[in-house]
Structure 1
Amino acid sequence: MIHPAKSIRTFIGAKDYAESRHFYEVLGFQVQPVSENMSVVHIKENVSFYLQDYYLKPWCENSMIFLEIEGDLESYWKAIKVLGLPDKFPGTKLSSIQHNDWGNEFFLHDPAGNLWHFGFFI
């Protein structure tokens, strides 16, 4: 069966909804409210996710999102590092680039503990 899919979006939680919206704006994502307690966050066309004003610690701290990067991962990492997110948003963490057999990646924890993998496949 062929599925006529156009996009796929995950839902992630926010411990402090206003802080998380601001975090993603500083990261350079476009945050568009869709209701009082939910926003759609656009990274680029057809690459987006829902951010909700809902927090359950075990859920958020076990949520992971992999964002495949086009082009130079190191330049992208440097662009994120210069934003100083861990200094501006308590609880956020940015790793160095990890080199794997399949490709390279780095990690970013958002303010609620959601773990982002930014990677490039070789």
Structure 2
Amino acid sequence: MESRKVNNLTVFIPSKDFSISCKFYEDLGFQKTVSNGNAFRYEIDGFGFWLQDYYVKEWAENCMLCLYVENIQSWYERIKQLNLPENYAGLAKVYSEPHQEHGSLIMNLGDPSGVLWHIYQGA
């Protein structure tokens, strides 16, 4: 019988200004684990994505990721401390504070390139 076990699945996301996007994700707590020329692998708690030095406006503004966390309030407090509007010249922003939506706690965050993050509490 053929094994079809998956060990990982990852995504590549765009960055309009690669250095600003790198700083943003590092400020959030992601760690750069691999560098591959024009892309860096960022991880947190064993989960991650590839950040590319590549940008297409329509792609960035339609790219969405979901991050499931144990304690959304802790994430929100950390994000508030980053003062995104000031420290990222209005490029990164919190679209919504933690709130109930469809039975889950969720908040929404935009990265400096327009990528939308849905941060959920739970699995």
Query: Do the aligned partners of residues 2 and 100 (structure 1) sit closer, same or farther apart at CA in structure 2, a change above 3 Å counting?
Result: farther
Q: SS state of the match for residue 118, structure 2?
A: strand
The unaligned stretches of length 5 or more in structure 2 are none
Greater displacement, 84-93 / 102-111: 84-93
Cα-Cα RMSD: 1.7
- Structure 1 moving runs of 4+ over 3 Å: none
Residue 54 (structure 1) aligns with: 54
Which runs of structure 2 are paired with 1:36-51 in the superposition (5 Å)? 36-45=37-46, 47-51=47-51
Return the letter of the residue paired with 1:48: G
Q: SS state of the match for residue 42, structure 1?
A: strand
CA drift of 1:8 comes to 1.3
Which runs of structure 2 are paired with 1:18-33 in the superposition (5 Å)? 18-33=19-34
What CA distance in whole angstroms lies between the structure 2 residues aligned with 1:54 and 1:15?
7
Question: 1:69 aligned to 2:73?
Answer: no
Residue 34 (structure 1) aligns with: 35
Q: SS state of the match for residue 105, structure 1?
A: strand
CA drift of 1:6 comes to 1.3
What CA distance in whole angstroms lies between the structure 2 residues aligned with 1:27 and 1:55?
21
Length, aligned pairs only: 120
Residue 100 (structure 2) aligns with: 99
For the 8 Å contact 1:102–1:121, the answer to whether it is kept is: no
What CA distance in whole angstroms lies between the structure 2 residues aligned with 1:33 and 1:15?
20
The unaligned stretches of length 5 or more in structure 1 are none
What CA distance in whole angstroms lies between the structure 2 residues aligned with 1:63 and 1:3?
28
CA drift of 1:120 comes to 1.6
Q: SS state of the match for residue 119, structure 2?
A: strand
Query: Between the two proteins, what is the percent identity of the paired residues?
Result: 35
CA drift of 1:121 comes to 4.1
User: TM-score, normalization: structure 2?
Assistant: 0.88
